[in-house]
Structure 1
Amino acid sequence: MAFNTSPLRDITDEDIETYRRDGAVCLRKVLSQDWVKALEPIARDVIVDKKDVGLLPTIPGRYMARCIPEYRRLVFEGPVAEAAGRVMQSKEIRFFFDEFFAKPPQSDAATLWHCDRMAFPVEGFMVPSLWIPLTPIVEENCLEVLAGTQHDDVPYWLFSPNARKMIKPDDRVPHPDIESRRGEEGLRFLKWEMDPGDMLIVHPWALHYSAGNPTDDWRVAVSIRVFGDDIRWAPRPDCLNIAGVSFDEMLDGEKPEGPLFPLLWSEDGRSEDDSEYPRGFATRWSGRAMGDVNEYETFKRMKEKEDANLLSDRRTAPAD
Structure 2
Amino acid sequence: MALNKRPLREVTQQDIDDYARDGAVCLRNVLDRDWIDLLEPIAREVIINKKDVGLLPTIPGRYMARCIEEYRRFVFESPIAEVAGQVMQSREIRFFFDEFFAKPPQSDAKTLWHCDRMGWPVTGTMVPSIWIPLTPIVKANCLEVLAGTQHDDVPYWLFSPNARKMIKPDDRVPHPEIESKRGDPDLRFLSWDMEPGDLLIVHPWVLHYSAGNPTDDWRVAISERVFGDDIRWAPRPDCVNLAGVSFDEMLDGEKPEGSHFPMLWSEDGRADGDADFPRGFATRWPKQEMQGVNEYKAFKELKVKEDAGELSRKDSAPVN
Give the SS at the match of 1:37: helix
Question: What displacement does 1:295 show?
Answer: 2.7
What residue in structure 1 maps to residue 313 of structure 2? 311
**What is residue 98 of structure 2 aligned with on the other side?**
98
Q: How far apart are the structure 1 equivalents of 2:20 and 2:300? A: 31
- Deviation string for 1:142-198 (max 9, x for gaps)? 000000000000000011110111000000000000011111120000000000010
Match of 1:295 in 2: 292
Structure 2 distance, partners of 1:268, 1:310, is 49
Following superposition, the deviation at residue 199 of structure 1 comes to: 0.5
CA distance in 1, matches of 2:293, 2:161: 17
Q: Counterpart of 2:4?
A: 4
Letter of the structure 2 residue corresponding to residue 296 of structure 1: V
Give the match's secondary structure for 1:296.
coil
Equivalent residues in 2 for 1:110-259, closer than 5 Å: 110-259=110-259
- Partner amino acid, structure 2, of 1:193: D
Unaligned residue ranges in structure 2 (runs of 5+):
none
Match of 2:267 in 1: 267
**2 CA distance for matches of 1:66 and 1:30?**
24
Per-residue deviation, residues 104-125 of structure 1 (Å, max 9, x unmatched): 0000100100000000100100
Cα shift readout 1:243-289 (whole Å, capped 9, x = no counterpart): 000000000000000000000000000000000000000000123xx
TM-score by length of 1: 0.94
Matching residue of 2:73: 73
Alignment deviations for residues 68-92 of structure 1 (CA, whole Å, 9 cap, x no partner): 0110000000000000000000000
Secondary structure of 1:71's aligned partner: helix
Q: Distance in 1 between matches of 2:293 and 2:40?
A: 16
Moved more, 121-130 or 302-311: 302-311
Which residue number in structure 1 is paired with residue 277 of structure 2? 277
**Residue identity in the other structure for 1:201:** I
What stretches of structure 1 move > 6 A for 4+ residues in a row? none
Structure 2 letter corresponding to 1:280: G
8 Å CA contact 1:130–1:223 kept in 2: the answer is yes
Residues 160 and 306 in structure 1, CA contact (< 8 A), matched pair in contact too: no
RMSD (CA atoms): 1.4
Q: Is the 8 A contact 1:55 1:63 kept in 2?
A: yes
**3-state SS of paired residue (1:5):** coil
Shift of residue 302 of structure 1?
3.2
Amino acid at match of 1:278: P
How far did 1:310 drift?
6.4
Contact 1:158 1:310 in 2 (8 A): no
Q: Deviations over 1:1-35 (max 9, x none)?
A: 61000110000000000000000000001110000
Q: Is the 8 A contact 1:114 1:158 kept in 2?
A: yes
Displacement of 1:305:
5.7
Aligned partners of 1:51 and 1:167: how far apart in 2?
A: 37
- The code of the aligned residue for 2:129 comes to S
1:9-24 matches, cutoff 5 A: 9-24=9-24
Identity of matched residues, %: 74
C-alpha change, 1:303 and 1:236, in structure 2 (3 Å) is: farther
Given that residues 133 and 198 in structure 1 are in contact (C-alpha distance below 8 angstroms), is that contact kept between their aligned partners in structure 2? Answer: yes
